[in-house]
Amino acid sequence: MITIGVDTGGTFTDFIYRSADGPVGTYKTLSTPHNPSEAVLAGIRHIARVLGLGERPAGLCVVHGSTVATNAILERKGAPTALVANAGFTDVIEIGRQNRTRLYDLAYAREPHIVPPALRFAAPGRVGSDGGEIAPLAETQARDVAAQVRASGAESVAVCLLFSFLRPEHERLLGDALRAQGLPVSLSHEILAEFREFERTSTTVVNAYVSPIMTRYLTDLLAATRGNALSVMQSNGGSISAETAMRESVRTILSGPAGGAVGGLETARRAGFDRLIGFDMGGTSTDVCLMDGGLPMTTQSAIAGYPVKVPMIDIHTVGAGGGSIARRDAGGSLAVGPESAGAAPGPVCYGRGGTGVTVTDANLYLGRIVPDHFLGGGMALDEPAARRAVEAMASGLGLGPAELAEGILAVANANMERAIRVISVEKGYDPREFTLLSFGGAGGMHCAELARLLGMERVFIPANPGLLSAVGMLLADVVKDASRTVMLGAAEAAPAELEALFAAMEARGLDELRAEGVRPENAAFERYLDMRYKGQSFELTVPWGGDPVEAFEAVHERHYGHRNPGKPVELVNLRLRSRGRQDKPVFPAPPPGDATPPRAARLGARPAIFGNAPCEAQILNRARLRPGNIISGPAIITEYSATIVLPPGTTATVLPCSGLSLDLAS
């Protein structure tokens, strides 16, 4: 069996592959934004040729991190979607929480919702807050509603009725009637069985909006890779089958970045680091997340302004990447991003028609990229074109070319520094107590200077950093998340009652894991409680076990700085994470060396500029470095998936796992 991890990014599509007893192979190719599957299939064909498997290989296991669902909603290119809700509640998605994203904009107006008023339909029947039926829903009534939806031209339907998580019969009846009309349906009690009708409706609508797009994409991939297994990475850090991803596409919104968090945490743990700030800088954006011993999970995410309440890794994204374009803003200052050159046309130095100076072009101008060794020498860079573009922009701004290039990097670094402060300082964490985990194709060029801005003394760069999201696909378990609203007072909640509820959820979770191909002996279950003080609007999640009230108050104190002893505590939701453990690949480490890098690793030197001061930076081939080697900056370390820059005053040590530990204390 050959397993392939695939991550589709805005600029590159990354692959890492390994057979049961063979070496690890890697491959990167430019993404194809007009049709992401083209790059995926081209990469699989390339790997098949390398391994001698022929043009139509079979027996592959492909785990894919996809941006299809994300892009569909960001670009508002999902399927025309209808909403069926209770009479009087069809506009709940428009009313929302009355939040304003631009508080001081007096002319503020929301964008039109992805479900326009003409596609919102009222259903008879009503379930009460106790689960009792207030008004019935007949089959004939459900068929009438389904016929109206069909006549509207909608291509997908979200059904979200009040308290359906307590009594789902009405939703099921409507679902059957709509499917009889040939419409794909998302039922809220299947997507998110929790209270808060706005968030539940929004999550279900997003699922209905993107699922047809994801279904078409995955159906095409399955047809083109017939005879091979295809799984998709979820936002929660676990994988699911392609069939499940078609039905529950909302769970793949942060598919690629989640792979990076999983791969980063696992490789850093193997190197002895577990308090990490993940810094994933790619071609179009930068993803950051704080990992204090584990993956940070949240149910309070939103995409394009639409709440998505399914569990996902807490990742913060900013529009700063290697392809981010520099420009003069309205006030005459230098700005970088969020607009990106992407894969087409890409930075000027790619020679594909790009005209805007990007972060990559600035790095190349300053000597921090070695053109002959970019992508292992497999992609030629047009250095003269990049130099001309930088010089022309600098002339227009009245700056020196090197001054402009370093200014572009400084602005990009400031954008990424602010993103890291959002996930650390603003949440009560001191970044100086963490190790900066740097990955992504562009991360190694910025991590040392970014860490210094944050006062951090150590950076860890794993092997194959530009492919780490794809590595995470190979390291991910199968994961199924489930929740159930119970709304019980903690003092009145009988342990036996909660045990029975969890046991029922585990039985269903085991069935779902079996459907994903997981053997029962590889199944594991993690129980959690959503809790709050009575009267609070939001909950905190704590692990099940021991004294739940004490666990909640300890977490509350850590988050908010205080606890309220004696105040009544509520159990709001039960959460279950069903995990199907998968065999993890082991990446072999090279034999150790001494402190001096071997002669074979030295590729010469290159003029570079740091702090407006020219210098000679040694060039090293990372593949030839050995554990124990120590490299002092200024240096440029090249490898297939990324370039790593060591500014003056930075020292890097090669660890036994082949990762690099950068010491910035000096």
**Interatomic CA distance for residues 153 and 104, integer angstroms:** 39
Nearest to 267 by CA among 659, 625, 662, 638: 659
**Interatomic CA distance for residues 56 and 281, integer angstroms:** 34
Between the CA atoms of 114, 118, 120 and 123, what dihedral angle is there, to the nearest 10 degrees?
-170
- Both tokens of 388, joined, read 């001309």
The two beta strands, 660-663 and 635-638, are unpaired
445 part of a folded domain: no
Instruction: Find residue 485's DSSP bridge partners.
Output: 573
**pLDDT over 90 for what percent of the chain?**
73
Residues 31, 105 within the same domain:
no
Buried b (16+ CB within 10 A) or exposed e, 64-79: bbbbbbbbbbeeeebb
6 part of a folded domain: yes
Q: What is the pLDDT averaged over residues 135-144?
A: 96
Where are the alpha helices (H) located in 17-81, listed in sequence order? 36-50, 68-74
pLDDT band at 553 (very low <50, low <70, confident <90, very high): very high
- Both tokens of 564, joined, read 């309220």
Residues 223, 190 within the same domain:
no
The pLDDT value given to residue 356: 92
In angstroms, how far is CA 292 from the centroid of its own chain?
18
The two beta strands, 120-123 and 81-86, are parallel
In which domain, by residue range, is 636 found? 599-663
Say how many domains are in the chain: 4
CATH, residue 489: 3.30.1490
- Report the SS3 class of residue 537: coil
> 10 Å Cβ neighbour count for 359?
30
- Both tokens of 87, joined, read 């009479």
Residues 199, 160 within the same domain:
yes
- Both tokens of 19, joined, read 């057979």
365 part of a folded domain: no
Instruction: Find residue 118's DSSP bridge partners.
Output: none
Q: What is the pLDDT averaged over residues 301-310?
A: 89
> 10 Å Cβ neighbour count for 592?
11
Q: What is the pLDDT of residues 324-347, one digit of tens each?
A: 999 998 888 899 988 888 878 889
Residues 559, 533 within the same domain:
yes
* pLDDT of 616 strictly over 80: yes
Buried b (16+ CB within 10 A) or exposed e, 594-604: eeebeeebebe
Residues 87, 122 within the same domain:
yes
Residues 160, 226 within the same domain:
no
Residues 47, 85 within the same domain:
no
Q: What is the pTM of this model?
A: 0.90
CA–CA distance from 656 to each of 185, 247, 592, 593, 664 (Å)?
A: 51, 43, 7, 10, 20
Residues 125, 192 within the same domain:
yes
Residues 553, 636 within the same domain:
no
Residues 487, 576 within the same domain:
yes
Q: What is the pLDDT of residues 361-386, one digit of tens each?
A: 999 999 999 999 988 888 889 999 99
Vertex 295: Cα angle to 290 and 299 (nearest 5): 95
Residues 201, 125 within the same domain:
yes
294 part of a folded domain: no
**Interatomic CA distance for residues 338 and 146, integer angstroms:** 42
pLDDT band at 179 (very low <50, low <70, confident <90, very high): very high
116 part of a folded domain: yes
> 10 Å Cβ neighbour count for 195?
17
- Report the SS3 class of residue 619: strand
DSSP code of 144?
Answer: H
- Both tokens of 192, joined, read 């998110």
CATH, residue 172: 3.40.50
CATH, residue 228: 3.30.420.40
* pLDDT of 10 strictly over 60: yes
45 part of a folded domain: yes
* pLDDT of 666 strictly over 70: no
The two beta strands, 316-318 and 60-65, are unpaired
Q: What is the pLDDT averaged over residues 536-564?
A: 90
* 3-class DSSP string for 185-197: EEEHHHHCCCCCH
Residues 572, 635 within the same domain:
no
Task: For residue 45, count CB atoms less than 10 angstroms from its CB and return exposed for 0-12, middle for 13-18, buried for 19 or more.
Answer: middle
**Interatomic CA distance for residues 380 and 384, integer angstroms:** 12
